[in-house]
């Protein structure tokens, strides 16, 4: 099962969600590969040792016809990581044939890893094309702002085009609403509107400092015990998504 987390709006929770899905799938006893397609390297920083990542095969190697890149160990024994490198941004200027190389390499890695999650950069480009063309699922985190949906239409168009021309196995996008302020009336109105338009997963995730605290501590929010209500929300949401994806719970 290969899943891409994307939204070309920045700071909506892509990396946070990708990291939590990786942690949860690993807790469920799966061999997990986290692929960092964003040169900022935030997923790499959360799930692996950044210093060691500099000497490891980076996710840019997926775009090269050489051997399949070798993932590095992550913070959890069940998690491996293909880290971000500075070379990543240049891959967006590559040829479409390189996207096909990346798809083939990801599929090969899919034989070893039961769950692969790809965190993407806030951009449309060859990396996103490759990620979507290799994935069965696309998850789009959104923040409940009035214009949250505006930019998403081009991502959805890209996903539909890829499912029609390159990857019939890509299912319609799942949406996750993140960073909700339950007291803000506008947030509940926008969330309700999004749920009418799209396949939105529940629970909605509230805005809470516990989330960034946990990621800085390289832990999922349900294992960082500063706010158990928030931890529970993220655990339930990740289980909802993983159940929907058919990711087995071996425990």
Ligand X SMILES: Nc1ncnc2c1ncn2[C@@H]1O[C@H](COP(=O)(O)OP(=O)(O)OP(=O)(O)O)[C@@H](O)[C@H]1O
Name the site residues for ligand X (rule: CB under 6 A): 10-16, 38, 40, 42, 122, 178-179, 205, 207-208, 211-212, 215
CB of 189 to Mg ion, least distance (A): 27
Query: Edge-to-edge strand order for the sheet containing 174-177?
Result: 72-73, 79-82, 32-37, 115-120, 2-5, 137-142, 174-177, 200-201
C-beta of 15 vs 59, nearer to Mg ion: 15
Footprint of Mg ion (CB under 5 A): 14-15, 42
**Shortest Cβ 84–ligand X spacing (Å):** 10
**Rounded Cα gap, residues 127 and 6, in angstroms:** 11
- Which CB atom, from 15 or from 224, has the smaller least distance to Mg ion? 15
Q: What tokens were used for 188?
A: 């509940």
Q: Which does 13 bind (CB under 5 to 8 A by kind): ligand X, Mg ion, none?
A: ligand X
Tell me phi and psi for residue 104, to 5 degrees.
-65, -45
CB of 171 to ligand X, least distance (A): 21
Q: Which is nearer to Mg ion, 37 or 113 (CB)?
A: 37
Report how far residue 241's alpha carbon sits from residue 192's, in angstroms, rounded to the nearest whole number. 20
Contact of residue 122 among Mg ion, ligand X, none (CB under 5-8 Å per partner type): ligand X
56: partner contacted, choices Mg ion, ligand X, none (Cβ within 5-8 A by kind)? none
Helix-then-strand count for the chain, H and E: 10, 8
Q: What residue has token string 């290969």?
A: 2
Classify residue 174 by its DSSP letter.
Answer: E
CB of 211 to ligand X, least distance (A): 4
When the beta carbons of 42 and 89 are compared against ligand X, the nearer one is 42
């Amino acid at each position: 099962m290969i899943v891409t987390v994307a939204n070309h709006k920045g700071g909506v929770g892509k990396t946070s969600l990708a990291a939590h899905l990786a942690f949860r799938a690993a807790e469920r006893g799966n061999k997990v590969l986290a692929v960092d397609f964003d040169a900022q390297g935030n997923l790499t920083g959360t799930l692996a040792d950044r210093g060691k990542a500099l000497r490891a095969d980076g996710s840019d190697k997926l775009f090269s016809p050489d051997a399949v890149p070798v993932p590095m160990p992550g913070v959890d024994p069940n998690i491996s990581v293909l880290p971000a490198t500075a070379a990543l941004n240049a891959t967006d200027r590559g040829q479409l044939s390189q996207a096909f190389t990346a798809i083939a390499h990801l599929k090969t890695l899919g034989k070893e890893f039961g769950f692969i999650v790809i965190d993407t950069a806030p951009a449309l480009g060859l990396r996103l094309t490759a990620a979507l063309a290799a994935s069965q699922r696309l998850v789009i985190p959104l923040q409940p702002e009035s214009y949250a949906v505006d930019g998403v239409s081009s991502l959805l168009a890209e996903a539909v085009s890829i499912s029609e021309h390159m990857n019939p196995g890509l299912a319609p996008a799942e949406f996750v609403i993140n960073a909700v302020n339950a007291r803000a009336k506008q947030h509940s109105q926008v969330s309700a509107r999004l749920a009418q338009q799209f396949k939105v997963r529940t629970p909605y995730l509230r805005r809470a400092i516990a989330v960034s605290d946990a990621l800085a501590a390289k832990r999922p929010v349900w294992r960082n015990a500063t706010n158990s209500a928030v931890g529970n929300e993220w655990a339930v949401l990740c289980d909802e998504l993983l159940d929907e994806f058919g990711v087995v719970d071996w425990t």
